[in-house]
Structures are given as C-alpha cells and as structure tokens.
Chain A
Amino acid sequence: MNFTGEYYDGQSSMGIAVTLSFDTNTLFVRNDTLSLDVPFDALHLDPQVGTSRSIIYLHKGGEIHSSDHDALNLLERSLPHKSPERIARRLESKLLYAVAALILTVSIIAGFLRYGLPEIARYAANHLPPSTEEQIGSQALSSLDQLYLNKSTLSQTRQSSIRSELADFCRRTECPQYRLLFRNSTSLGANAFALPGHTVVITDQLIEKSHNDEEILAVLSHELGHIRYNHILRTLLQSMGSGVVLVVITGDISNFSDLAAGLPAVLLQQGYSRDMEDEADTYALHSLQNARISPQRFADILTRIDTKGIKTATLFSSHPDTQKRIQAFIRATEKH
C-alpha cells in the first residue's frame, strides 16, 4: 500500500512531499527526484500515543511525517523491534481499561494509606531524635497557649496533690516518662491531651467535672497510653505522609515545603485513629487494674463528659464510639 507524507532531511526545515510504501524489511521513500530505501533497522518509529501524530525517525538524521494513522500502525506492526509501550497503548485505548486503572490506583493509594503508611510512621516515630520530638512538642504547646489555653486557676496545693497522686499511681503500674501541665480553657472545655515530647495537658474544666481523683487518674492513664505508644508523633507523621502521597500523585513537588509549615494545625485537626484509641484504652485498663483502681472510674468520667455534650471534647481525639468504649471498662469492672 502507498501513503503520503513529508520527508525532512534533518539538515533543513524544507519539507519534501513523498509517497511511502514498505515491504517486510524496507521503507521506500519516493518522489519525482528522490528515491530512498530505508531498511527497518535504520529507522525508528515512536509508538503512537492516543491520536497524536507519530513520526518516523531515520537513524542517519531526518524525520518522515504522515497523518495516515492506519498506514503508520501497519508499519509499526511490521517492524522487528516491538516496543513494550504497545502494552501501555492497549491499556490507554479503551475506557474500560482506564476505569480499571482508576480503580487500581485508588485501591493502591487507599491500601498504602491504611496499612503501609501507619507502619512507616511507627518506624519513623520510634527513630526520630528526642530533641526533634521535644522541639515539635514545645512549638505545638506554645501555639496552643496562644490560641486556646490560659494559666491554670487551680491552687498550687491542688496541683501538687494531683501530681503526687499520679506519681504514686506510676509506682504501682508501669508508666512512660511524662510531664504533666495544668491549663485553663473555656474554649476546649473538659479535656486532656498528649503532646509530642512526653507532655500531658489537663484542663481545669476536666478536673472540675471529676467527682474524685481516681477519675482524673483514669483519664491521665489513657493519655499516658498515647505517650507510651508514640501515638502523637505517629499521627503527625501519617498525616504528613498522606500529604506527600497526594503531592507525588498530582506530581507537584512544590507544595512539599508548605506541608512542614502546617504541623501545629495538623496536630489540632487530626484525631487519633480508632486503633490508637483502642490501644490507649487497653493500656489505661491494665494500668488501672495494676494500680487497684476500678475501671468503672474511667467509664464514669467518660460518660459525664460525653452526655454533657461538650463538643470540643472531640477536638483532640476522635472518640467515635463512647458507649462501646465505656462498655469495655464496665465489663472489666464486673469481672473484677
């Protein structure tokens, strides 16, 4: 079969209209004054992408253009070197394959975010230098102090009595290293949360809501659980990681530096995963049992915070299923 095209010799931009044909191993380029026989191993045809025009490149220099897609397809099939790109082209050619690629992409990303990233974050959190962790923690604390937290209104005696009770509690069960801070916050309400750098913050409002100090210890033991398993850093690294994944997928590395700037905000918005909450609950339950404090105390204060409908209580932690969590502690109490 014959088809038409333009021949460019690679030395000049002058196009020469030619008639093209080929047999099993040679491309014939012809016009009135030109007669060129190009063996297949002296030319190269880029596999076609979509309906864009593909071009025949001659190894000695020069290009042949043609808008005859069918002829070029036939030529490509006759060439001895099959490009692996023909697989890609087949995938790109059908909407069904595109949909399959979309589903595959979404599942790989989702799978990575659900299973891969938490493991990487766990590893990284455990290997981060303590100084870095301290720095992140103190930065987060100072921005929280500016925005939400005020100096505690509790008396020094009350503060030190809670401190010594916690110290006593930690003699009866195994606690991670910690630093306890008291803050007053009407905007956060009854709340307690852990920060990177082994810091636990408890609000005056939570202490007011408690009926006895064992309830305070119960809440604090849950937060110590978050510290014990490095949940704060792991959550932070996970959300950073998912940001990186997003950037890699959309192919825009320039946003990378912006991610680091948003750390305190991430800390505020990002709740712990349910797995982490379960882990901290289990830790709290064991600690309370070790310290001979009834797990009922945790259930009591949790119920009180929850039913009073303090919405901000969920700002720092996603406690989706309070009833279910309380049940676990009540069951433990009954077994006792």
Chain B
Amino acid sequence: MRGALVGTALALACSPAPAQEMAGPELAPYVVTGDAIIEPLAGQRGDAALGRALIGERHRSLCILCHAVPEGAAPLQGTLAPSLAGIGSRLDEGQIRLRIVDMKRLNPESLMPTYHAPPDGARIAPAWQGKPVLGAAEIEHLVAYLVTLKE
C-alpha cells in the first residue's frame, strides 16, 4: 500500500498541469495503425534521459520486474519477459508505443500489464481505481529512451 501511494505521488510530481493533481494521470486518446501508435501521446515527445531513469524505478514503471535492460542502475532484473536490449533496432517508435500502452491488443494472454487504458481488472485496490499505470508523459519518456537501444 505504501509503495502504491508513493508511486502515485511521484506520478503527480511529473504531470505537467497542476489542474490534474486530483485526478492522477489523465488518459490520452490515441489511434492504432497496424501494430503501432504513430503519434506521440498528447502530442508531446518525451525525454530519453528521464525515460532511462524511469525504467529503473521498479515500484513505479515496473518494467525491470519482468524485463532485463542493457544498462543503467538495475542489477536485479526480471526474466519473465524478453530483454529490451536492442529493442530500438527490432521495433520502431510507434510499435514500441503501442506495446507499452496496451500489449493485450496484440496478445490478449500477455503477462504485460496494459499501461495506458481505463483499468478494468477485478478487485483493483482503491488507490489505483480509475487510474492508468502510467501517464502519457511518462510513456513518451520511456519510448524516447527505448528507441535509442540499438544493438
């Protein structure tokens, strides 16, 4: 519970508009083309350095619980998912964006959580109800970082 609250607080600290403070990260609308979301969420590109830091925050982005990343301060990396090393050579920006936003659109059985949709899971803890796992700006930071991971 404490982790959950801290995570929310950090997400709020990052969100650009103070008006969003009560609502938590807003959901940005998006258009899926093939297996990609071509346009940046909320029309705003991210910052790769912030994305690199965020991916290592296992209680907020959660990525390294499941994935290995090729660098950074993340010694304890998960093996539940493919390594993200070289992901920028395998997938383009829009493909990476859709996979973070909603992997289940490509594989309904996936373990990977849907990061940016109204959550509809059973028994969602009160602190998380009605909130996506990550906001649009955070996802764009991650995308900006992952496209730089070339093999």
Asked if A pairs with B, the answer is no
Measured CB to CB, the residues of A under 8 A from B are none
Measured CB to CB, the residues of B under 8 A from A are none
